[in-house]
Homo-oligomer: A and B are copies of this chain.
């Protein structure tokens, strides 16, 4: 339990009402009770405001009149909600040390304030920084480095020589630093191209479950600080992702493509290789991107679903679109001829 006034102070919101109200958690307008703070971030849920039983609600000033309880006033309810939820969330604290079942190589360096969990493996030359949490089943291969305050939740794989910044959060099943897909055509089949670079992850990056980020062929694959990656993303060798760029789940980025800062990629977007995108470039979900766009802006390439019957007709016509365009052009010429002829009358 904390006091509402303390929450207001910590989150930067303006308190409206009794600062002594004790609160312990955050909840939706519908489900909150007097011990919970709720929030109005989406106007769609305004209808639930008047009847909420929350102890307090985070909202913009324009909705204050409809608020039946104390309020935390803010210009940005979504950001304020995030901050308040963080204040009330269970602590991530842990007792430093290592579990008996952890396998830590004698030539690894583990800070005394770090935790190495059950069955985790830390290979020779790895460096685990202060306050790092290595959860159960993680593998930190030879020479990999993890910066202060980072957290490998569980079953994370860091391949050899990967470099992880500070306060990086990596979810289960992520694989950082597997070989890039480098092949040269040989007389029969393929000759593998050794992948000699590594992966460098900046500070404050988050990497989702089962996401894969491949090591560079010669130079490194780079994820700049503050970038946020959702689950099941595939980042190929020598990609560079700019600061604070957010990438939704199931995105695939092909080799040597560069994405700028503060970009957003919707779920399932695919970027072809060797492309370049500047800052503030945004792609809607499942867009396929086959060329570079130099201008900031919003881009899309996909085909939103229709009832199957309509879609079948449209797709059948799509296949003959070139013929249709030629026919339209021909008709245009014929009409011009007719116009000339009838005018000539």
Provide the A225-255 mask, 1 if CB < 8 A to any CB of B, else 0.
0101011101010000001101011101010
Select one of B208, B311, B319 contacting A300, CB under 8 A.
B311
Shortest CB-to-CB span from A220 to chain B, Å, is 11
Q: Which residues of B contact A313 (CB under 8 A)?
A: 321-322
Q: Which residues of B contact A327 (CB under 8 A)?
A: 328, 332
* A89-B171 contact given A103-B99, A270-B285, A341-B342, CB 8 Å threshold: no
Of the candidates A196, A212, A293, the one having the most CB atoms from chain B within 10 angstroms of its own CB is A212
A contact residues, range: 35 or more
Q: Which residues of B contact A103 (CB under 8 A)?
A: 99, 101, 118-119, 136
Copies of this chain in the oligomer: 3
Complex contact A194–B86 (CB within 8 A): yes
Q: Which residues of B contact A267 (CB under 8 A)?
A: 234, 252, 254, 270, 272
Provide the A98-140 mask, 1 if CB < 8 A to any CB of B, else 0.
0101010000000000000111010100000000000111010
Q: Which residues of B contact A268 (CB under 8 A)?
A: 252, 270, 288
CA–CA, A206 and B137, complex, Å: 23
A192 at interface by CB-CB < 8 Å = yes
Select one of B254, B283, B328 contacting A248, CB under 8 A.
B254
- Which residue of chain B has the shortest Cβ distance to A343 in the bound complex? B341
Shortest CB-to-CB span from A265 to chain B, Å, is 11
Complex contact A191–B232 (CB within 8 A): no
Complex contact B307–A299 (CB within 8 A): yes
Complex contact B183–A246 (CB within 8 A): yes
Name 8 interchain pairs, CB-CB below 8 A, sorted by A. A89-B194, A118-B121, A173-B212, A181-B249, A212-B232, A230-B234, A300-B305, A306-B319
The 10 closest A-B pairs by CB, nearest first: A301-B305, A82-B184, A89-B194, A313-B322, A178-B209, A298-B308, A189-B226, A181-B230, A103-B118, A175-B209
**Which residues of A approach B to under 8 Å, CB–CB?**
25-28, 31, 76, 78-79, 81-83, 85-86, 88-89, 99, 101, 103, 117-119, 121, 123, 135-137, 139, 141, 153-155, 157, 159, 169, 171-173, 175, 178-179, 181-186, 188-194, 196, 204, 206, 208-210, 212, 214, 218-219, 226, 228, 230-232, 234, 236, 243-244, 246, 248-250, 252, 254, 267-268, 270, 272, 283-291, 293, 295, 297-308, 310-322, 324-325, 327-328, 331-332, 334-335, 338-339, 341-342, 345
